[in-house]
Amino acid sequence: MATIRPFNSVRPRGDLANKVAALPYDVYNRQEALEEVIKEPLSFLKIDRAETQFPEDFDPYDTKVYEQARDSLRDMLKEGVLIKESQNCYYVYELTMAGRSQTGLVGCAAIDDYLNNVIKKHEKTREDKEIDRINHVDVCDAQTGPIFLAYRSQKIINEVIEAIKKGNPLYDFIAPDGVKHTIWKIADQSNIETISKEFKTIHSIYIADGHHRTASAVKVGLKRRAENPGYTGEEEFNFFLSVLFPHDQLMILDYNRVVKDLNGYSKDGFLTEVAKAFLVQEMGAEPFKPSEKATFGMYLEGVWYKLTAKDEIRSTDPVEGLDVAVLQNHLLTPVLNIKDIRTDKRIDFVGGIRGLKELEKRANSDMKLAFSMFPTSINELFEVSDADQLMPPKSTWFEPKLRSGLFIHELS
């Protein structure tokens, strides 16, 4: 069963939420983060990416950068830009993009649920990326970016959330990227108890996005336990900031691929190799977006093709049956010799939010070839996680992105 609980949040003053809220720290490179902070001095990026406060050649992983993040957080509290909630609360967080809404619950999840596999992962993490966020959380003594979690929809939780949404929101603003963010507070003790009790009946929760932040939060919690051998398990460092969404609210976008060359093949030779595992149909100049599993769009030299996986390469295995695995195992690796997409510089990835024209642009400029994908489903994500397996890299792209800075969870 899952332990989810309310928390005493640090959050922006009501009239400043739209200025403070920022996209996740890993959406930006260093220059882009700096430009955002210059454009909006209250942006939470100056905390999440505190290297923006130093010269361009300053090491972003220097201890002084994390200390600057901590100091900026304290300054925003002193200045009243951020305020501290007077009691433990849950929050309802609705995001609306292109007319479609999804609503989650903001609360804190238990690190023990992660350690005991109640909170399930589907992605491998990199130690270097973990270390950065471990240092950030530990020095700031706070978690500043929420983890995106999913669970199988529960009727009673849905009913409480829908009732809360009928009241006046705490925040309601449209971000520069057009995404609308609306937030309500749940302070009533009976509603809090109902939500916490219902989560106790849920046996599995899934990391949708934020594997590195989750692993980092857990490792900071374990570090604090080692430093406090008399801990009770109720201390805030035993929990991490999360937004939990019912599965039927979520949509995963396609995560497309672009490749630099044909691995020495001529166009005709390449198409002949592809045809060994896929049915190849020329579609013309109009972008082709797959509408079902086991089909792929392929753009090469101004022409789109539809690729359909032959029956003999399809699989019922939770991982091997994923479209990203089919493409990897039967085209990218054997034909294009791209074996490790984490490290191979000949391949790059384009989130579905950018559209198929971006694939054409890349294939016509710095790359040669593009593939449009049918999105991984949330049920496929659950199946892989339940089987204690890992998805191939770059399998899912979630939109819209949760904003950092709207909720901060202090650890002590």
Using CA of residue 396, residue 402, residue 403, residue 409, what is the dihedral sign? negative
249 touches 165 (CB < 8 A) = no
Percent of the chain beyond pLDDT 90?
94
> DSSP code of 194?
H
Element (H, E) at 199: helix 189-199
Decide if domain 255-374 falls under CATH 1.25.60.
Answer: no
Element (H, E) at 11: strand 10-12
Q: How many CB atoms lie within 10 A of CB 278?
A: 24
Q: How far is CA 11 from the centre of its chain?
A: 21
Minimum mean pLDDT among 6-20, 25-39, 305-319, 357-371: which range? 25-39
Give the pLDDT of residue 338.
98
CA distances from 248 to 20, 100, 156, 229, 276 (A): 29, 13, 15, 41, 37
Give the pLDDT of residue 251.
87
243 touches 402 (CB < 8 A) = yes
For residue 127, pLDDT beyond 90: no
Tokens found for residue 162 = 């829908």
> How confident is the prediction for the chain on average, in pLDDT?
96
The radius of gyration of the chain from alpha carbons, rounded to an integer in Å, stands at 23
For residue 136, pLDDT beyond 90: yes
Contacting residues for 243 by C-beta, under 8 A, at least 6 apart = 93, 104, 105, 106, 146, 147, 148, 149, 402
Ranges of each domain in the chain? 4-251+399-410, 255-374
Instruction: Give tens-digit pLDDT for 300-318.
Output: 999 999 999 999 999 999 9
10 touches 85 (CB < 8 A) = yes
Which DSSP string corresponds to 229-287? TT--S-SGGGEEEEEEEEGGG--EEPEEEEES--TT--HHHHHHHHTTTEEEEEEESS-
Backbone angles phi, psi at 194, to 5 degrees: -60, -45
- Tell me which residue of 102, 405, 369 sits closest to 252, measured CA to CA: 102
Burial class (CB in 10 A: 0-12, 13-18, 19+), 256: buried
The overall pTM is greater than 0.75: yes
Instruction: Give tens-digit pLDDT for 41-87.
Output: 999 999 999 999 999 999 999 999 999 999 999 999 999 999 999 99
Query: What is d(CA 160, CA 342) in angstroms, rounded to the nearest whole number?
Result: 42
> DSSP code of 121?
-
For residue 238, pLDDT beyond 90: yes
Element (H, E) at 131: helix 127-140
Mean pLDDT of 131-153: 96
Backbone angles phi, psi at 30, to 5 degrees: -60, -45
For residue 124, pLDDT beyond 90: no
181 touches 23 (CB < 8 A) = no
Burial class (CB in 10 A: 0-12, 13-18, 19+), 242: buried
Backbone angles phi, psi at 319, to 5 degrees: -95, -50
Coil vs helix vs strand at 191: helix
Give the pLDDT of residue 369.
98
Give the pLDDT of residue 262.
98
Instruction: Give tens-digit pLDDT for 10-21.
Output: 999 999 999 999
